[in-house]
Amino acid sequence: MNEYRTHTCGELRAGDVGKKVKLAGWIHRKRNLGNLCFIDLRDHYGITQCVFDSSSDLFTQIKDIRVESVVGFVGEVVARESVNKNMPTGDIEIKVSEVCIYSEADTLPIQVFGEGNEPEELRLKYRFLDLRRERIHNNIVLRSKVIAEMRRLMTEQGFAEYQTPILTSSSPEGARDFLVPSRLNPGCFYALPQSPQQFKQLIMVSGFDRYFQISPCFRDEDPRADRSPGEFYQLDMEMSFATQDDVLKVIEKTMGTIFNEFAFGKKVDQAPFVRISFRDSMLKYGCDKPDLRNPLIIDDATGFFNNSGFGVYDAKVTNGEQIRAIKAPKAGNKPRSFFDKFDGYAKEQGMGGMAYVALSDGNAKGIAKFLSAEKMAELKQTFALEDGDAVFFMGGETKKINKFAGVVRNMLGEALDLFDKNAIKLCWIVDFPFYEENEETGAVEFSHNPFSMPQGGLEALNTKNPLDILAYQFDLVCNGVELASGAVRNHIPEIMYKAFEIAGYDRSVVDNKFGGMISAFKYGAPPHAGCAPGIDRTIMLLLDEPIIRNVILFPLNGKAQDLMMQAPNTVTEEQLKDLHIEIKL
């Protein structure tokens, strides 16, 4: 292969017995048995066992060298007496005749062999060691393969890859910007792009038909398990003369293939993915990111509690509140403590408790004692209850009760072990409201994406209640995680001005913040649409990793710090002077 090695550490097999080979890598593990010393040599491709005899001069040379030192071994491939079926190279070992030490390792702050229990802060400080561990290393390799396949699939569908700027202008896209001071323009700042949104639309206006990019995005957001602070990557795409259906088909082809190819045998929903309106999703699942691995559905039970006989919920309905119900199959035989647990949780959350009816051996428990025989018959028919089933009820103001019912749905799914953990469930959430009301101020705000086309166009903006206007916006959801957001874009200046006016921005703000794009639209813009699946989250879902940092090469910690490179950090007064900046803490 070259002067360092003839083969990799994952390459040799029984058919290579008798060959003289040269390997190079890291000392993964040492086992000194007195008369023999075994060293597992590791590189990017795998591990090969190498053996030293105590009678050899080499034994003294390697007995004190630490694990993770980088070495080269020359020797003969021999058959192993004890075959290791768990290793691809487990049929052979190397009887070493020459040793070259390239780099000796100090005492390790974290162990590479095995899965250590070190705190995450220590792992991130020594990320270059953490990345040598098999699981994390393989995560990053899979990430590379997925991105390569994304590129292939997009190119195959007629898309070309273009790069958009990293230094751009600040825009109100929902998250905080990362700002970069300009040395040549005192007092002015660039912003790192929260997404290539405006640029990719301008690419369409410039006459390019189908664009994609493996795009870095920067948002100064608080971290979550499925969101890394600072930066993330997405498969950004846009296409001209395209409808919502056109975009959905492209993403279904691309992401459907990715999940089918890399889901490690899990059952994957096949395209076309189910489409659920935002309104139905909020009612049936209590959120706009439903985890469809859980088969439970939330029902609207408000009509049932109109003079039902159960006064507490009848009063809620009279007061304009909504009642939600969740059927819990095979839960009717659960002990009283099972139902009390959910009732207690509802009280802890300020929801006033939770009612239930449980059918067991012909008997009905819970609030059944308040219901007439006719009402019980209606209950069984409405919720398709059979003996052994139960149904939970909860009530409150619409938005609040929907969200609470969504949490209870998932709690019930877990408690009853209903989640299909071996499935990849994909769906589109469509028909998002264009605007929403700020709960604190009552102001009308964009709910999703300010660059989207409202359904009904300018006429809808001029004649409808803003909160009733829907948008051509859509999300791809996988196992309860938002994987992509997209929309048909607003390419008509007058519609854009009006849309921003309703959200409280006058024409001057639009011209200032989005001047490049609004100006371009005045010179002929094609109808266009696009979407952007998140790459980090895709890998996280494929690998069942609970923390997104485990699929990112060099992630920031929960405080948005790079402990390895010690960033962010202070800079010199001279640097600040060049940038016309003075720090006042």
Torsion over CA: 314, 315, 321, 326 (sign): negative
Question: What is the model's pTM?
Answer: 0.92
CB 388 within 8 A of CB 359: yes
Position 301 confidence tier, pLDDT thresholds 50, 70, 90 = very high
Q: Which amino acid is at 366?
A: G
Structure tokens at 170: 């600040």
Which pLDDT value is given to residue 172? Answer: 61
Integer Cα distance of 173 and 450 in angstroms: 8
Closest CA to 126 of 571, 566, 569, 570: 566
Integer Cα distance of 566 and 561 in angstroms: 7
Closest CA to 324 of 352, 348, 305: 305
Q: What percent of the chain has pLDDT over 90?
A: 88
What class does CATH assign to 294-419? Answer: alpha beta
Q: Which residue has the higher pLDDT, 117 or 397?
A: 397
Q: If you write DSSP's letter for every residue of 8-52 in order, what string do you get?
A: -TTT--GGGTT-EEEEEEEEEEEEE-SSEEEEEEEETTEEEEEEE
Which pLDDT value is given to residue 175? Answer: 80
Which pLDDT value is given to residue 479? Answer: 97
Integer Cα distance of 150 and 213 in angstroms: 10
Q: Which residue has the higher pLDDT, 247 or 32?
A: 247
Domain ranges of the chain: 14-103, 114-265+526-585, 294-419
Give the CB-side neighbour count of residue 22, counting CA atoms within 13 A. 10
| 135, containing H or E segment | helix 134-156
Helix, strand, coil distribution of the chain in percent, nearest 5: 30, 25, 40
DSSP 8-state secondary structure symbol assigned to residue 464: S
| 573, containing H or E segment | helix 573-578
The tens digit of pLDDT for each residue in 496-543 reads 999 999 999 999 988 988 888 899 999 999 999 999 999 999 999 999
Closest CA to 271 of 291, 253, 250: 253
The tens digit of pLDDT for each residue in 39-66 reads 999 999 999 999 999 888 898 889 889 9
The CATH number of domain 114-265+526-585, selected from 3.90.70.10, 3.40.50.11720, 3.30.70.100, 3.30.930.10: 3.30.930.10
For the chain, first and last CA: distance in Å? 57
Q: Which amino acid is at 10?
A: G
- CATH T-level assignment (fold) for domain 14-103: OB fold (Dihydrolipoamide Acetyltransferase, E2P) (2.40.50)
Position 173 confidence tier, pLDDT thresholds 50, 70, 90 = low
Cα angle, residue 345 at apex, residues 344 and 346 outer, rounded to 5°: 90
Place of tokens 């994957």: 268
The 3-class secondary structure across 216-234, one letter per residue, is EEEECCCCECCECCEEEEE
Closest CA to 51 of 43, 283, 59: 59
Which pLDDT value is given to residue 555? Answer: 95
| 500, containing H or E segment | helix 493-502
Integer Cα distance of 440 and 211 in angstroms: 39
User: Looking at the predicted structure, is the pLDDT value of residue 457 above 70?
Assistant: yes
Q: If you write DSSP's letter for every residue of 423-439 in order, what string do you get?
A: EE-EEEEE--BSEEE-T
**Average pLDDT score over residue span 240-266:** 97
> What count of other Cβ atoms lies within 10 Å of the Cβ of residue 376?
16
Omega before 454 within 30 of 0, i.e. cis: no
CB 521 within 8 A of CB 202: no
Integer Cα distance of 295 and 414 in angstroms: 11
Please list, residue by residue across 251-261, b when 16 or more beta carbons sit within 10 angstroms of its beta carbon and e when fewer do.
bbebbbbbbee
The tens digit of pLDDT for each residue in 544-567 reads 999 999 999 999 998 999 999 999
**Average pLDDT score over residue span 113-119:** 85
Integer Cα distance of 198 and 203 in angstroms: 9
CB 132 within 8 A of CB 114: no
User: Looking at the predicted structure, is the pLDDT value of residue 115 above 90?
Assistant: no
Q: What is the mean pLDDT of the chain?
A: 95
CB 308 within 8 A of CB 314: yes
Position 451 confidence tier, pLDDT thresholds 50, 70, 90 = confident
The tens digit of pLDDT for each residue in 467-477 reads 999 999 999 99
> What count of other Cβ atoms lies within 10 Å of the Cβ of residue 290?
25
Q: Which amino acid is at 31?
A: R
**Average pLDDT score over residue span 414-423:** 96
Which pLDDT value is given to residue 174? Answer: 65
Contacts 24+ apart (CB under 8 A), 31-36: 32/63
Q: Which residue has the higher pLDDT, 451 or 115?
A: 451
Which pLDDT value is given to residue 230? Answer: 87
Q: Which residue has the higher pLDDT, 184 or 448?
A: 184
1 contact partners, CB below 8 Å, separation of at least 6: 7, 8
Position 118 confidence tier, pLDDT thresholds 50, 70, 90 = very high
